[in-house]
Homo-oligomer: A and B are copies of this chain.
Amino acid sequence: MSPRTKKQNAAIRERSVAAIKDAALEMFAKYGFHSTSITQIAKEAGVSNGLMYNYFSGKEELLQSIIQDAMEVNDATWFKFLNADLPAVEKLRKAMDATFELVKSNLHHWKLLTALAFQPDVQQKMEALVMDKKDFYIQLLTGVFEEMGFEEAQMEVFYFAAMVDGIFLHYMNMEENYPLDQMKEMIWQRYEKKR
């Protein structure tokens, strides 16, 4: 009956927080943010209704936290490959491969993020977070395409991003019926010769 140590408490907290986030992500992705109630999340997570409020100030903050997590994973991947010490074509290929893998194995996260990107009320709250990143990656990719010899490197960034996101869009709708890998290679044909 001795009081829990700090470490024990931290572990307990972490487990609870993770359970809540996992359940929430799952259900937000499945039913939408507004159509998922706190009660449903709590039930799915196997905790009480009120526990969420010990860790987040409300439903919105829970969402924010999930979004942040998803973006961090994505960031790590991109940053890793686009900053690697490799020829531009290689960097692009590796980053692209990694991104496709990421999306394949985290379909839930991605569906959720995409869905949210189109819900105007949520969008505004993400905007600040996203804008900086976006500019940063545009810069980064522009550098890569310049190195690959594109005149209008920034236009190429837009074009590349559109192809990738368009493919993901369709993949998310069709899932296993979508020829994801073939699409990736069709993109790649455009850049391969720059090798």
Q: Which residues of A contact B (CB under 8 A)?
A: 29-35, 111, 114-115, 117-122, 155, 158-159, 161-167, 169-170, 172-173, 178-179, 182-183, 186
Contact = CB atoms under 8 A, between A and B. Distances in A.
Contacts of A162: 163, 166-167, 169-170, 183
A117 B169 CA distance: 10
A165 to B, nearest CB: 5
B179 A158 contact: yes
Given A120-B31, A120-B115, A183 B166 contact: no
Contact of A183 (B119, B159, B169): B159
Copies of this chain, complex-wide, total 4
Considering residues A120, A155, A161, A163, which has the most beta carbons from chain B within 10 angstroms of its beta carbon?
Answer: A120
Contact of A120 (B29, B121, B186): B29
Contacts of A120: 29-32, 35, 111, 115
Contacts of A172: 118
A35 B121 contact: yes
Contacts of A164: 166
A93 to B, nearest CB: 18
Nearest to A190: B190
Contacts of A32: 34, 119-122
Contacts of A166: 161-167, 169
Contact of A186 (B115, B155, B167): B155
A55 to B, nearest CB: 15
B163 A170 contact: no
Nearest to A48: B3
